[in-house]
């Protein structure tokens, strides 16, 4: 340790001396971990509010016009509509903090920091995905109370794709190709664009999908590098698996005796994620604790952008 008597400068603590406390490395690592663990958030519309003040984002939602026949010697038909909007409240502020005592900093391997940054990225990514998954309650004609609404279905073993209600999914109601095609038609009938569609499923449904012979082929699994959670493509729709798919009905509420989870067929414009502050990492030395406080946090809001562009498929969990 170098020492000096003020005003001499031999005792300055510079970047070399305090390298373990400089936050840039922490920031890079936590952002990388955050991006690696996101699934649903990467599939929705993202709007940055970085550096902007306010707690509500207003997104214009104009009413579609129509084409009108032009009759000879008559004026054109002028259209007018009161345009709507979607308001996104930026009201979600989540953080991940650790205090690393000096003795631990001195004796622990550098991998300790890598664990904390990776864990912070995972925790924040899971929280963002959880909040977006919860928007499944707001699809269709829902009031946001639960997953029983006009955009929620299950595949009945006898009748195929059917409206979901509590205690309707039985053990025999398994995923089928016909049921999936019927769900895709629901999206087609709603005039949802063909591109940027995704189907996010729990591991139990991935297991069922991989057991369907026609899906286990080069058309589904093409051995290319994949995005986080992506397992293949069916009928032009990318399939993603996530352990964060919500339980929409617990085993105790279901006579079949198992959890029911809500897989989601969505378009990029179904949900919106507004980020006012992306992942931020900060460190501060706390002399009273003889340790370094590390915190990663972010500020954001989520909202349904198109209630008719997403569907919940209730499946055995």
Q: pLDDT band for position 55 (50/70/90)? A: confident
Mean pLDDT of the chain: 83
Residue (of 265, 266, 239, 262) closest to 316 by Cα position: 262
pLDDT value for 16: 56
CB 235 within 8 A of CB 187: no
Q: Examine residue 71 and state whether it is found in any structural domain, yes or no.
A: no
- DSSP bridge pairs for 61: 84
Q: Is the pLDDT of residue 1 over 60?
A: no
Mean pLDDT of 94-115: 83
Mean pLDDT of 22-33: 66
CATH of the domain at 265: 3.30.1930
- The domain in which residue 286 lies consists of 21-61+84-134+273-304
Secondary structure of residue 241 in the 3-state scheme? strand
Q: Examine residue 140 and state whether it is found in any structural domain, yes or no.
A: no
Q: Examine residue 4 and state whether it is found in any structural domain, yes or no.
A: no
Pair 124, 183 in one domain? no
Who wins on pLDDT, 35 or 138?
Answer: 138
Pair 94, 231 in one domain? no
What DSSP element (H or E) covers 30?
helix 24-37
Who wins on pLDDT, 289 or 223?
Answer: 289
Pair 284, 257 in one domain? no
Secondary structure of residue 215 in the 3-state scheme? helix
Q: What burial letters (b/e) apply to 231-241, b meaning 16+ CB within 10 Å?
A: bbbbeebbbbb
Pair 156, 263 in one domain? yes
Task: Count CA atoms closer than 13 A to 36's CA, side-chain side.
Answer: 12
Helices 111-133 and 24-37 pack at an angle, to 10 degrees, of 40
Overall domain count for the chain: 2
pTM of the model: 0.80
Pair 45, 169 in one domain? no
Pair 310, 172 in one domain? yes
Pair 265, 187 in one domain? yes
CB 117 within 8 A of CB 282: no
Q: pLDDT band for position 51 (50/70/90)? A: confident
Q: Is the pLDDT of residue 127 over 90?
A: yes
pLDDT value for 15: 52
Secondary structure of residue 107 in the 3-state scheme? helix
Q: pLDDT band for position 23 (50/70/90)? A: low
Q: Examine residue 232 and state whether it is found in any structural domain, yes or no.
A: yes
pLDDT value for 258: 85
* Distance from C-alpha of 67 to C-alpha of 82, rounded to nearest angstrom: 18
Task: Count CA atoms closer than 13 A to 14's CA, side-chain side.
Answer: 6
Mean pLDDT of 243-254: 88
Q: Is the pLDDT of residue 94 over 90?
A: yes
CATH of the domain at 35: 3.30.2400.20
Q: Examine residue 211 and state whether it is found in any structural domain, yes or no.
A: yes
Q: Is the pLDDT of residue 197 over 90?
A: yes
* Distance from C-alpha of 8 to C-alpha of 251, rounded to nearest angstrom: 71
Tokens at 32, concatenated: 């990388």
Who wins on pLDDT, 8 or 32?
Answer: 32
pLDDT value for 267: 95
Q: Examine residue 91 and state whether it is found in any structural domain, yes or no.
A: yes
Pair 105, 221 in one domain? no
Q: Examine residue 10 and state whether it is found in any structural domain, yes or no.
A: no
Who wins on pLDDT, 38 or 77?
Answer: 77
Q: pLDDT band for position 224 (50/70/90)? A: very low
* Distance from C-alpha of 299 to C-alpha of 279, rounded to nearest angstrom: 8
Pair 188, 40 in one domain? no
Q: pLDDT band for position 98 (50/70/90)? A: confident
Pair 312, 190 in one domain? yes
- In this structure, the strands spanning 92-101 and 291-304 are antiparallel
Mean pLDDT of 196-217: 83
Residue (of 263, 266, 264) closest to 315 by Cα position: 263
């Amino acid at each position: 340790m170098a020492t000096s008597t003020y005003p001499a400068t031999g005792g300055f603590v510079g970047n070399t001396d305090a390298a373990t406390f400089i936050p840039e490395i922490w920031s890079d690592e936590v952002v990388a971990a955050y991006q690696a663990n996101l699934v649903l958030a990467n599939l929705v519309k993202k709007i940055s509010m970085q550096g902007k003040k306010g707690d509500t984002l207003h997104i214009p939602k104009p009413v579609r016009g129509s084409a009108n026949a032009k009759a000879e010697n008559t004026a054109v038909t002028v259209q007018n509509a009161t345009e709507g909007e979607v308001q996104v409240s930026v009201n979600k502020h989540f953080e991940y903090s650790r205090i690393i005592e000096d003795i631990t900093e001195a004796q622990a391997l550098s991998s300790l920091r890598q664990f904390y940054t990776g864990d912070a990225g995972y925790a924040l990514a899971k929280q963002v995905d959880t909040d977006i998954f919860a928007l499944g309650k707001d699809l269709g004609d829902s009031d946001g109370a639960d997953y029983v609404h006009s955009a929620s279905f299950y595949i009945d073993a006898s009748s195929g794709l059917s409206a979901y209600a509590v205690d309707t999914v039985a053990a025999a109601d398994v995923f089928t190709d016909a049921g999936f095609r019927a769900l895709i038609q629901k999206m087609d009938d709603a005039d949802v664009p063909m591109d940027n569609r995704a189907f996010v499923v729990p591991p139990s449904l991935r297991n069922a999908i991989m057991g369907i012979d026609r899906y286990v082929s080069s058309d589904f699994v093409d051995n290319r590098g994949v995005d986080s959670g992506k397992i293949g493509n069916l009928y032009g729709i990318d399939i993603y698996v996530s352990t964060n798919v919500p339980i929409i009905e617990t085993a105790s509420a279901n006579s079949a005796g198992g959890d029911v989870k809500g897989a989601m067929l969505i378009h990029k414009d179904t949900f919106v994620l507004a980020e006012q502050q992306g992942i931020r990492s900060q460190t501060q030395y706390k002399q009273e604790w003889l340790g370094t406080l590390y915190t990663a946090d972010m500020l954001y809001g989520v909202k349904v952008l198109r209630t008719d562009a997403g569907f919940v498929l209730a499946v055995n969990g």
